[in-house]
Chains A and B, each alone.
Chain A
Amino acid sequence: MKTKRIIRDSVLKGITYIASFISIIILVAILFFIFAKGSKGLTWDFITGDNEPKSYTISILSNNELIENDKYENYAKRFGVAFEDSVNYDKEPVVKIVFVDDKSPLHSVIDSITGEKVSVSEGFYFTTFIEIVDDNGNTDYIYAREGAKVASEKLANAKKIKDWALSYEGGGIRGSIITTVYLVVLTLLIGFPIGILTAVYLHEIAPKNRFINILRSFIDMLTGVPSIIYGLLGAALLIPVSQMVLQTDSIGGNVLSGALTLSIMILPVVIKATESALDVVPKDYKLASLALGVNEVQTTFKVILPNAMPGILSAALLTIGRVIGESAALIYAIGTSIKDVVSIDGKGTSLAVHIWSVMAGENPNVEVATSIAIIILALVLVLNLIVKYISHRLDKKFKGV
């Protein structure tokens, strides 16, 4: 009997070991995949750069003094710039700028077509030619197909660049990061007060009758609705509402309609979490307050709600995670166009939708997608820590421990 039991117990124990082992392996594997694929593309330019490709046409005189540098192979001293052979998104061979010295005149040039100030930096490239004038006043052409080595040698002899069509590939995610922050902040600002006050009503003020019970189970049900259905609601109802609020007649969604949609999506979660947070506030506090001749409303807002705050904040954390990770609802409620300049009445994409955009094209770009995934992970982690800290501080304030 005894050995049988020992065997059975160790088998059960063994199964729990195996299960946790599998979970950990999967988690580590996912993280490893994301970091292995994404960390290479994760540069400062990628995080802060524009997404939209740009092209400039510039002309400029060379420096009087030579700018010395021997770190780069294909380096033109007169302009302080280094080249490299590369290919662009469309797999065309291009000559790419890999280094621009601080003293280079290229840092401040004027676009000869738009008159816009341009700072040529790493990542710019050209696919056609550079028209140059040498010291003797002869015009020459540097063709991109001749490669980086020839380009640097010829440019080293140029007195003046007469005409140079430069491109910038874009692909940065700054706009999407900002849109995501907008969405999180707006969603919390709209969704949280409504959700918390609804929960306070349901928990403290509402009569205990059948209607309220039905309402409550309805809210329970809403937590399980797939987010794409909220997206449909957003597209059908909230886009017109947001257009009315913002007084715009632009077609399609905007950041506000996205935030409104997400606010509605998080409402049931906020209500449920706030209700459970209110549940754990000891009844004694309410009794003590009422017995002092303080009315129910004041008791709710001065004693019960502050005590539920740490719990409500944990709900905020869950919600922020959900907002950052949301893609399906936003595809309908804002759209998928990636923007570099973000405003409430403009379009934009969250990071999650950015991943979707990058992967949805003809050539899915896993590297970029995983780089964005790392940013999302980092954001969630930081928010996690912030909320934990605030919640800890509140706990300390209320419980004095």
Chain B
Amino acid sequence: MMSEFAFKINNMNLYYGDKHALDNINMEIKKNEVTAFIGPSGCGKSSFLRSLNRMNDLIDGAKITGDILYNENDIYSKGFDVIELRTRVGMVFQKPNPFPMSIYDNIAYGPKRQGIKNKKVLEEIVERALKQAALWEEVSNRLDDSAMQLSGGQQQRLCIARTLAMNPEVILMDEPTSALDPIATQKIEELIFELKKEYTIIIVTHNMQQAARISDKTAFFLLGELIEFDSTSVIFSNPKVSKTEEYITGRFG
């Protein structure tokens, strides 16, 4: 039987050179839920998110101790297939970053690199991904246009579609709406609501209302420590740690 948890994190520490960025994190992230990471800037929430699909590997001097188990496999163990992990655990970035190619090529890029060459299959993947990302109706008649011509909100949904085309199980989102206007933000939030039926979503956000609106669980980070992790309703109405309450009520951060 598959575990009900996507990630299990045990005694995890992250260092950037001499800097101790994350201190002894323990956490279990459930499948098919939206988990939000909140906390002030520099608290380590984005670093933690990047550890989950090993994007931290790209940063010089980053070192991790402890275990991060994805589907019960230690993703930092020797010989673990990072490429495979990243197709299972997709990522959407803070700034929309579509490739400077056509809309179609943006979505088809990942599947093509996996060796899918059949045009028919690719077309189906592109259509499915764009429909899932609620972008199909806006772009279906101009798939050959450059993705750079889309608005910021459309570009971000295109990036989500690009991730979905890889058929992931988990989608990591690093402040996906912080560069967008309120209307585009609302569309992304609605999209997240739809997507959580099929995918496990972990989202970093600066916007506490957003965390309250869309997440099932919320984790509060402060200075590299996980202060509190509970269901969103508890965190926002009845936090157990006073620091959490102070942050949520806006006394610092």
Contact = CB atoms under 8 A, between A and B. Distances in A.
A294 B113 contact: yes
Contacts of B90: 291-292
Interface stretch (A20-28, A79-87, A281-289, A314-322): A281-289
A348 B110 CA distance: 50
Contacts of A399: 100, 146, 148
B87 A293 contact: yes
B83 interface: yes
Interface string B219-241: 00000000000000000000000
Contacts, number: 74
Interface of B: 53, 55, 58, 60, 83-88, 90-91, 93, 95, 97-102, 109-110, 113-114, 145-149, 159, 162-163, 166
Given A284-B95, A401-B148, A290 B58 contact: yes
User: Which of B58, B98, B145: most chain A Cβ within 10 A?
Assistant: B58
Nearest to A291: B91
A392 interface: no
Contacts of A292: 86-87, 90, 109-110, 113, 162-163, 166
A401 B86 CA distance: 32
Nearest to B94: A284
A8 interface: no
A301 to B, nearest CB: 10
A401 B146 CA distance: 8
Contacts of A288: 93, 97-99, 159, 162
Contacts of B58: 287, 290
A294 B100 contact: no
Given A284-B93, A399-B148, 11 more contacts: A282-B97, A284-B95, A288-B99, A289-B99, A291-B91, A292-B90, A292-B166, A303-B109, A398-B101, A400-B147, A401-B148
The 7 closest A-B pairs by CB, nearest first: A400-B146, A293-B87, A284-B97, A293-B86, A291-B91, A292-B110, A398-B100
Interface in A368-399: 398-399
B195 to A, nearest CB: 17
A298 B113 CA distance: 8
Contact of A303 (B91, B99, B166): B99
A54 interface: no
Nearest to B172: A291
A302 interface: yes
Contact of A293 (B100, B110, B145): B110
User: Which of A208, A284, A398, A401: most chain B Cβ within 10 A?
Assistant: A284
A293 B109 CA distance: 11
Contacts of B145: 400
Given A399-B100, A399-B146, A287 B109 contact: no
Interface residues of A, number: 21
A23 to B, nearest CB: 37
A349 interface: no
A208 B60 contact: yes
Contacts of B114: 293
Interface of A: 208, 282, 284-285, 287-295, 298, 302-303, 307, 398-401
Given A208-B60, A293-B87, A302 B149 contact: no
7 contacts: A284-B95, A287-B97, A290-B58, A291-B86, A292-B162, A295-B83, A303-B109
User: Which of B95, B101, B163: most chain A Cβ within 10 A?
Assistant: B101
Contacts of A295: 83
A292 B163 CA distance: 6
Nearest to A208: B60
User: Which of A282, A288, A289, A302: most chain B Cβ within 10 A?
Assistant: A288
Nearest to B95: A284
Contacts of B110: 292-294
Contacts of B162: 288, 292
B100 A400 contact: yes
Contacts of A285: 97, 99-100
B113 A302 contact: yes
A293 B166 contact: yes
B97 A400 contact: no
B84 A293 contact: yes
Contacts of B60: 208
Contacts of A287: 55, 58, 93, 97
User: Which of A287, A290, A292: most chain B Cβ within 10 A?
Assistant: A292
A284 B163 CA distance: 15
Contacts of B88: 293
Contacts of A401: 146, 148
Contacts of A291: 53, 55, 86, 90-91, 93, 163
A401 to B, nearest CB: 7
A302 B95 CA distance: 21
A400 B106 CA distance: 13
A302 B110 CA distance: 11
B55 A290 contact: yes
A398 B83 CA distance: 26
B160 to A, nearest CB: 12
A293 B114 CA distance: 9
Contacts of A302: 109, 113
A2 to B, nearest CB: 46
A349 B228 CA distance: 78
A246 to B, nearest CB: 40
B81 to A, nearest CB: 9
A289 B90 CA distance: 11
A304 to B, nearest CB: 10
A400 B148 contact: yes
Contacts of A400: 100, 102, 145-149
A108 B228 CA distance: 101
